[in-house]
Amino acid sequence: MFPMIRRVVVRSFEQGLLFRRGEFRGLVGEGTHWFFDPLGRIEVEVVSMRAPRLVHDRLDLIVKSGALKPMADVVDLKDDRRALVWIDGRFSHVLGPGLHAYWTGPREVRVEVVETRRIRFEHEDLKVIARSTGVNSLLDVCSVNRNHAGVLFLDGQYAETLEPGLHAFWRGPADARVVEVDLREATLDVGGQEIMTADKVTLRLNALVTYVVSDPRRTVCTVDDYRQALYREAQLALRVSIGARELDALLADKDEVARETEAMLRDRASALGLEVRSAGIRDLILPGEMRDLMNKVTEARKAAEANLITRREETAALRSQANTAKLLAEQPMLMKLRELEALERIASTGHLNIMLGEKGLADRVVNLL
């Protein structure tokens, strides 16, 4: 049993939606309203305008009636459009396709309609928009770090290379994917490589390759893992360079091997979108028996060099003695002076026994002392 008269109170910040037999008939403004409804066909829904957005399952009927025109802004978004909503000067949310209505009374509402034909979304307030709640349902937001580059693919196809910063892409029109690439100088450790030289000596070495990414697009599109690809190329270059040399030549000039390896790597690295800055051999490890043999060879070589130096010094000493003897033979008085110098040194010790056989020499010595 329905009451014949219904009373509806609408406050200043509210609006009443009047329906009769399910059809929208208009808005009911502020005040107390009485409705004669003996058959229960009248329905009045009171909604608050403090919530700026009017959400209703029969919004299409309400909008079609035209009753909202002086009271609300209506936005009808097609599939290729989205809307940015600001409430009281602050960003609120993003609207997807569909019919939307916002009250224009108690709250200041601003709606900005944007197109999604350009998949990348750019806006001066992007940082604020990206932080809002629920935006991820309509936008793919990503951040490219400093000293990095972002390679953008749309539906699997390369689109562009992104600079460091915040970027956003509309969901739906295309599948956007960003691959971040580090542009800083990096070092690749090529360790534990066992390589055979031209004279069949197997050795182990560790090498270092320093590189930077010069072409992010090529780096991402050419191979699935550019570091692993560069590692393999470095292995091959080392094997080619070392395999063409004998052990002695390798040990004599490791820098030349490094330069040759670097030259071979440059062309291949360029095809991968990389720039090789330097390449060098860090460690060169010989097998145990080869180290013992090399130590023996080095020891024998050093012993021969020491023996040669000793013989050279002895020869020089004998040559000096021969020259001295020749000079003393030619100048007898020099011999006498040498004898006197010897006597003087002996006399300085404090005890002197002199036995001289030459006649007259004893007298001269005594007079000298």
Weakest mean pLDDT among 127-136, 151-160, 230-239, 296-305: 296-305
CA-nearest of 172, 175, 171 to 139 is 171
pTM score, whole prediction: 0.66
- According to the model, what pLDDT value does residue 90 have? 92
- According to the model, what pLDDT value does residue 274 have? 94
The 10s digit of each residue's pLDDT in 190-230 is 887 878 778 777 788 888 999 999 999 999 998 889 999 99
The 10s digit of each residue's pLDDT in 225-254 is 999 999 999 999 888 888 888 777 877 788
Asked whether the beta carbons of 243 and 236 are under 8 A apart, the reply is no
The 10s digit of each residue's pLDDT in 299-332 is 667 667 777 887 788 787 778 777 777 776 777 7
Between 210 and 285, the more confident residue is 210
Residue 92 has pLDDT above 60, yes or no: yes
Share of the chain above pLDDT 90, in %: 38
- According to the model, what pLDDT value does residue 169 have? 94
What residues contact 30, with CB distance under 8 A and at least 6 apart?
Answer: 10, 11, 12, 14
Q: CATH topology for 186-286?
A: Tetrahydropterin Synthase; Chain A (3.30.479)
CA-nearest of 43, 37, 39, 18 to 28 is 18
Between 303 and 135, the more confident residue is 135
